Amino acid sequence: MENLTTQMAGVPLNHYIYLCAIIFTIGVIGVLTRRNAIVIFMSVELMLNAVNLLLTAFSVHSNDPSGQVFVFFIMALAAAEVAVGLAIIVMVYRNTKSIDINVLNRLKW
């Protein structure tokens, strides 16, 4: 384990930034192109995870554990968000018999 992580020194920080930017963008594309509410929710999870990885990379880069504590809080928040969100989706399905978000356009008014 120890020599594996010391050998990791070769990866530049901006490659982590590019990886996280790509995965965040994939999450954004998922939100924009899908109509299934649960898949949209999964894309949001993807975006949260990209941010988590970037926070960890910056935390290692600047030798500061606060970044990893923030990731821990984001994970707690994501768990709470998923519980409430899926409860709302089940509720919507029970009332409209569909999880197509276009059914919900009445919420505009």
Partner 1 sequence: MSTQVFYFVATLSIIFSLMVIFAKNPIHSVLYLILTFFTFTVHYVLLNAQFLAVVNFIVYMGAIMVLFLFVLMLLNLNKETEPSKSPLIKIVGVVAGCCLIVTLVGSFKAASINSPLILKNQGLGLVENLGKELFGPFLLPFELSSLLLLAAMVGAVLLSKRDEVEA
Residues 3-42 that bind partner 1 (CB under 8 A): 4-19, 21-30, 32-36, 38-39, 41-42
Which lies closer to partner 1 via its Cβ, residue 6 or residue 108? 6
- Name the residue among 47, 68, 50 with its Cα closest to residue 59: 68
Minimum distance from CB of 48 to partner 1 (Å)? 9
Contact between 65 and partner 1 by CB under 8 A: the answer reads: yes
Minimum distance from CB of 44 to partner 1 (Å)? 11
Minimum distance from CB of 103 to partner 1 (Å)? 9
* CA 37 vs CA 65, 74, 87, 107: distances in Å: 35, 22, 12, 15
Under 8 Å CB-to-CB from 53, ≥6 apart: which residues?
16, 19, 20, 23
